[in-house]
Amino acid sequence: RGSRLETPPALASLACACSRTHVRARSRSFALARASARAMVQVLPFPAWPSPNILGASAQPSRPRAAAGAAGRVDDMRPCQGGCGLAAAPGSDRWGVPFDTCCRGCATGRGHEDTCAGFPLPPAMDDEALAMAMQVGELEGQHQAHTAGLRAERHSRAEAASVSDQLWGDLPSRVGEGSQGPSAWRRAGFFLLPCCFVSCTSAAGRRAWRTFLLSWSVTIALAQVVILVLAIQLHGGFVGVEKNPSIGPHYHALDAMGAKNVAKILHGGEWWRILTPMLLHGGVMHLVGNLLVQLRTAAVLELLWGHSAWLLVYVVSGAYATLASCVVLPKQLGVGSSGSLCGLIGAWLSFTLITWNQTLPYDIKARDQQVVSIIFSILMIIGLSFMPMLDFAAHIGGLISGASLAMAVFAGRLQHRGTRWATRCLGVVICGGLMIGTLLLLFYNTEVDDRLLHLCVPSDCK
C-alpha cells in the first residue's frame, strides 16, 4: 500500500470492491469523531483545527500513529503522495513501513476516493500552541476519569442500597422508598425469610418458588415434619416440658421411630438406624430450629452445587455424624438433622476455598465476607455443641466429614490438573479413613448398655 507499489488495474479493482463496505463504515465513524473534535476545539484561543490529542484519541481510536509518538505531534503528519492535499493515513503496513497515502484510491493510482476519512494538513504549529494543545488533552483525560469515578460511585451506592439473594433474587421495592433502599427491618426480614417477600405474580418470583419447592431441602423438610407428627400421634401425644423441653413426644417414642440406639445397631442388626436419625427430631422447637437452616442456607447451597452433590453431602455427613455419636455417646439416644446441616456448612467452606480464584473482581468483597461468616458459624456451632442435650460428637463429626467429602466432590472445579487430582485423592483418603476408623472403634472399642434394647413408651410399657 503506497505510491511505491505498482498494482495491476484488475487487482486494484478487486481490492477496492472487497473493502468498499469496510471503508464506508469506517468513514462514518471518522466523520462523527472529526465533527466532535472540531466542536470541542472551537473554544480554544489558537486556530480552529483539531488538536493532536483529539486527533489521536477521538478521531482514530483503533489506528494509533506509530510515527507521531505518545504526544501525537501534528508536525509529524506527512502529506499524501497521491497529491490530494490530505494527510497520509496514520500507522504502517504489515512490514512496518509507514503509510504515505490517505486511502486505497491514492495508493492504487485511481485517484482520491470520496469516502476517504483522511484529515487536512494543519498549519505549522509553534511550541506555545503545541503546549496548549497538550494541556487541553490532559484536561480532557482528567474530566473523563472524574466522570468514570462518579459513575462507579453511583453504581456502588445502588448496589449497597439493593438487597439480593441467589435463590430469591432482589428484594421488591415499595412505593416511597428513596435512594437509601429498603428499611433495616425489611432487610433483616428478607435475610432471614426471603420467601415471605417474593410473590408468584412475576415470572422471576414463580421461577424462584418452583426452584425452591422442587429441591431436596423442601422434600426432606416435609418428610421430617410428617414423621414428627406421626411420632406424636402414635405414641401418646405431647409430654410435659420437664420430660421433653423441645415440646414433643416422649424420648422412648423416638426410639420406636428409628432413633440412634447403639445396642440395637450392634446386637439387633438395625443398621438402618445410622440413616433414620437425620429424619427425626425431638420436638417442635428442635424441628423449627433445623428447618430454618435447612430451608434458608441449605436451599441456596443446593442451587449452587446441584441436587446430586448436595444430597450426597447431606446423607454422607448425616451418616458419619451418627457413627461418631455412637462411638462417643453410646449410652444415649440421638435424633436430628443437625449433623447433616453441619456437614453442609463444612462443605461450604471447602467449596469456597476451592473456587477462591474463580471469583469475579466485583464479587471479591462478598466472597471475603462469606468466608468470615462461614468461619464464625463453625466456631459458634462448636461452642454451642457442648450445651446440655446437644450432641457435640454428631456436630463436629458432620463438620469434618462434610469438609473432607467436599474436597473429593468439588475438586473438579479446580483448573490445574495436578491440584485437582491431589485435592480429590486427599478428600477421599480423609473421608474414607474417618468412616473406616469410626466403624472399627464402634465394633471393637464401644461399650453397649443392654438396657437400650428394652425401651418403651411409659404408656405402652407392661
Cell numbers representing residue 70 in the block: 505518545
Residues 6+ positions from 24 with CB-CB distance below 8 Å? 115
CB half-sphere exposure, 31, CA atoms < 13 A: 9
From the list 51, 325, 338, 404, the catalytic residue is: 338
Q: Is 97 left (phi over 0), alpha (psi -120 to 50) or beta?
A: beta
Phi and psi at 414, nearest 5°, equal -70, 150
Told to judge if 338 belongs to the known catalytic residues of this protein, a careful annotator would answer yes
Q: Is 2 left (phi over 0), alpha (psi -120 to 50) or beta?
A: left
Residues 6+ positions from 135 with CB-CB distance below 8 Å? none
From the list 58, 395, 401, 404, the catalytic residue is: 395
Q: What's the length of the chain?
A: 462
Phi and psi at 456, nearest 5°, equal -155, 155
- Ranges of H-type helices in 235-363: 251-257, 262-266, 284-293, 299-305, 307-328, 338-354
Q: CA 104 to CA 400: how far, in whole Å?
A: 71
Contact between 313 and 406 under an 8 Å Cβ cutoff? The reply is yes
169 membership: H or E segment, kind and range: strand 169-170
Contact between 295 and 224 under an 8 Å Cβ cutoff? The reply is no
Phi and psi at 86, nearest 5°, equal -95, 170
Q: CA 448 to CA 327: how far, in whole Å?
A: 10
Q: Which of 109, 119, 148, 111 is nearest to 27 (CA)?
A: 119
Task: Quote the longest CA-to-CA distance of the chain.
Answer: 118
Rg for the chain, CA atoms, rounded: 37
Residue with cell 486527533: 55
Cell numbers representing residue 348 in the block: 461450604
Cell numbers representing residue 258 in the block: 428409628
Q: CA 318 to CA 398: how far, in whole Å?
A: 6
Told to judge if 146 belongs to the known catalytic residues of this protein, a careful annotator would answer no
Residue with cell 426471603: 194
Using DSSP's 3-state secondary structure scheme, residue 164 falls into: strand
The residues annotated with a catalytic role in the active site are 338, 395
